[in-house]
Amino acid sequence: MSHTSGTESAQTASPETVANIAAIREELCTLHAELVRYDLVVWTAGNVSARVPGEDLMVIKPSGIDYDALTPESMVVTDLHGTPMDGGWGNPELTPSSDTAAHAYVYRHMPEVGGVVHTHSSYATAWAVRGEAIPCVLTMMGDEFGGEIPIGPFALIGDDSIGRGIVETLSGSRSPAVLMQNHGPFTIGATARAAVKAAVLCEEVARTVHLSRELGTMLPIENAHIDRLHERYQNVYGQ
C-alpha cells in the first residue's frame, strides 16, 4: 500500500489516485442522499466515508453541512488518522465530520473495511439507548447480520474511543452493524455502498423487532438456521 503523506499535493499524486478520489467523492454525494431518502438522518447529523484504494487515505462528509448542500467537491480527504490533506485535495475551509477519528480508527485496524456509516436512525438508536442488542429473530437478520446486532461500549466523541469500541465489538462478530451505547448505529462494509445498505437494514430490523416485542413473545431462530441463512445470502443470493 502506498503511504501518501499530508505534504503530498493532489497535483503530485498518481493519476489513478486522483481518479479514485474523484469517483469516491461522486459516490459519497449520492450515498448521503440515500441516508436522507431512508429517513436515517436529521439536520446535518450522520456521515458516510470511504477508503481510497491503495492509499492511506479516506474521504468523508464535511462537518455541519446541510445534506442538500453537499457536492462531490465538498467531501473532505484525510489520512487514516483523520488529518485533512493539504495541497489542493479539497476546500481548505471545510473540516471533516466530527466522527472522522472513529472512521479512521476502523480503517487502520480493519483493512477489509472499505466504507463506514454512522446515523442516529430512530429505532436503532432506541435500542442503543437501552444498551440492548437486537436479537436475531428475522430471517433478514440471519441473511445480512449473521446473528444479533451487538451493543458497543459507551464512548465520548472526539478521539479514538468510539473507533476502538466499534473494532472491539465487530472483530468477533459477523454483523456489519454495531449499536454504540447511548449514541447510535455504526455500520461497515467492503464498500461504502455496502455500509449504507447495512445501515438501512439495521434500522428496518430495529423497527420490526421492536414492534414484534410490543406484540408479545418473539420466536427465536436456531443458530444452525442462522448459519445457513447467512451462508446462502452472502455467497449465493443475487447476481
Q: Look at residue 8 and tell me if it is in a domain.
A: no
Each residue's pLDDT tens digit, 107-164: 999 999 999 999 999 999 999 999 999 999 999 999 999 999 999 999 999 889 999 9
How many domains does the chain divide into? 1
Angstrom distance (rounded) from CA 219 to CA 89: 52
Are 4 and 55 within 8 A, CB to CB? yes
Residue written as grid cell 449514541? 183
**Coil/strand/helix, residue 63:** coil
Q: Look at residue 3 and tell me if it is in a domain.
A: no
Which cell numbers hold the place of 70? 453537499
- What mean pLDDT comes out for the span 53-78? 97
Per-residue model confidence (pLDDT) at position 11? 73
Per-residue model confidence (pLDDT) at position 2? 46
Neighbours of 12 (CB within 10 A): 12
* Active-site annotation, residues: 118, 120, 143, 183, 237
> pTM above 0.75?
yes
Residue written as grid cell 448505529? 185
Contacts of the segment 65-70: beta carbons below 8 A, 24+ positions apart:
65/94, 67/32, 67/33, 67/35, 67/36, 67/41, 70/29, 70/32, 70/33
Residue of 102, 50, 45 whose CA lies nearest to 75: 50
Each residue's pLDDT tens digit, 186-238: 999 999 999 999 999 999 999 999 999 999 999 999 999 999 999 999 999 87
**Coil/strand/helix, residue 162:** helix
Q: Look at residue 7 and tell me if it is in a domain.
A: no
Are 88 and 7 within 8 A, CB to CB? no
Q: Look at residue 22 and tell me if it is in a domain.
A: yes
Q: Look at residue 86 and tell me if it is in a domain.
A: yes
- Domain span at residue 50 reads 15-235
- What mean pLDDT comes out for the span 54-76? 97
Work out the percent of the chain whose per-residue pLDDT is above 70. 96
Q: Look at residue 159 and tell me if it is in a domain.
A: yes
Per-residue model confidence (pLDDT) at position 86? 80
Per-residue model confidence (pLDDT) at position 5? 46
Q: Look at residue 2 and tell me if it is in a domain.
A: no
Reply yes or no on whether the pLDDT at 7 is more than 50. no
Per-residue model confidence (pLDDT) at position 239? 66
Reply yes or no on whether the pLDDT at 12 is more than 60. yes
Neighbours of 2 (CB within 10 A): 15
Angstrom distance (rounded) from CA 132 to CA 175: 15
Per-residue model confidence (pLDDT) at position 131? 98
Which cell numbers hold the place of 234? 452472502
Reply yes or no on whether the pLDDT at 1 is more than 50. no
Domain harbouring 92, CATH code: 3.40.225.10
The mean pLDDT value of the chain amounts to 94
Per-residue model confidence (pLDDT) at position 158? 83
Neighbours of 44 (CB within 10 A): 16
Per-residue model confidence (pLDDT) at position 81? 96
Per-residue model confidence (pLDDT) at position 123? 98
Give residue 135's identity as a one-letter amino acid code: P
